[in-house]
Structure 1
Amino acid sequence: MADQTVEGSPGPIDKVTDIGRDIGEYIRQQRNNAKISLRQLSRLAGVSNPYLSQIERGVRKPSAEILQQIAKGLRISAEALYVQAGILDVPTGGPVPDAIRADTGLTERQKQVLLDVYESFRRESTAAGNTDDPSDPPPPRAEPTAERPADIAGEE
């Protein structure tokens, strides 16, 4: 049975075109944020200038390999481009990863580094058997003593 669409609603071909346009706009935005020209990105990514231009304009939909090369040229995570292109689902997270991803003051590269560090701490904590409830209050601070002056005890 052929795909049927209601008049005015996008069909499968339109959806692919939208994905191509979305990823192209995203790449252009990241390139502009990085303050590099189309030619510079073309050289850095090893993708021809005309092809990269077609991707940015939504005329071509890049493969995962091309997205990886572009991500390398932009110095952002390939995962970010894969999610934008619809190749990967949006990663699950929680309040901390969601806040990092939502921060418009960070570049994609900075977000990825923060997420990597956060996840490594989570894995380390889990491996050590630390299952503290994050809503538990922090342990009490050490009080200053004669052997432990205020600056060492964490007091100012």
Structure 2
Amino acid sequence: MSKKVKTNALRKLDQQKIPYEIFTYSVDGDQVDGITVANKIGQPIDEVYKTLVLHGKNGHYVAVIPVEATLNIKAISKVVGEKKLEMLAVKDLEKTTGYIRGGCSPVGMKKQFPTVLDESVQHHETIIVSAGQIGLQMKVKVSDLLHLINAKVSGIADVD
């Protein structure tokens, strides 16, 4: 893949001189679930994470969890201090974050929302997240990602 493809996420990493590795994959229809993506890019499933956006009374929040896990909404609600959180409707995702479903990155959203990474990131030096468009993933150091987006780490995922 040429280096010409630049998403907001990749531009932000470049601006901060944060190293990353890019993975590309072909998109067949609506198959953008994380396990399919991990298999397409030939990377361990436990290193590939998905980005979910929620909203509550006090604003929007971002959760980054392993692709094979389910978000524990009660757990993240507690971490961010909200009584009740709901998943952001897909139709509101692009206008809120600048990204579409399947291509939502925790880096480079229109606004940096409070972000929580699942505690499982502590078992990895690097993780793979969306690079801001369907068909494009990026591998970054967990420490760089935490620092860049000022994220918290907490147990917010339930492994299925």
- If the TM-score is normalised by the length of the shorter chain, which range does it land in? under 0.3
TM norm structure 2: 0.24
Larger RCO (CA within 8 A; separation ≥ 6): 2
Structure whose alpha-carbon radius of gyration is higher: 1
Say which structure is richer in helix.
Answer: 1
Say which structure is richer in strand.
Answer: 2
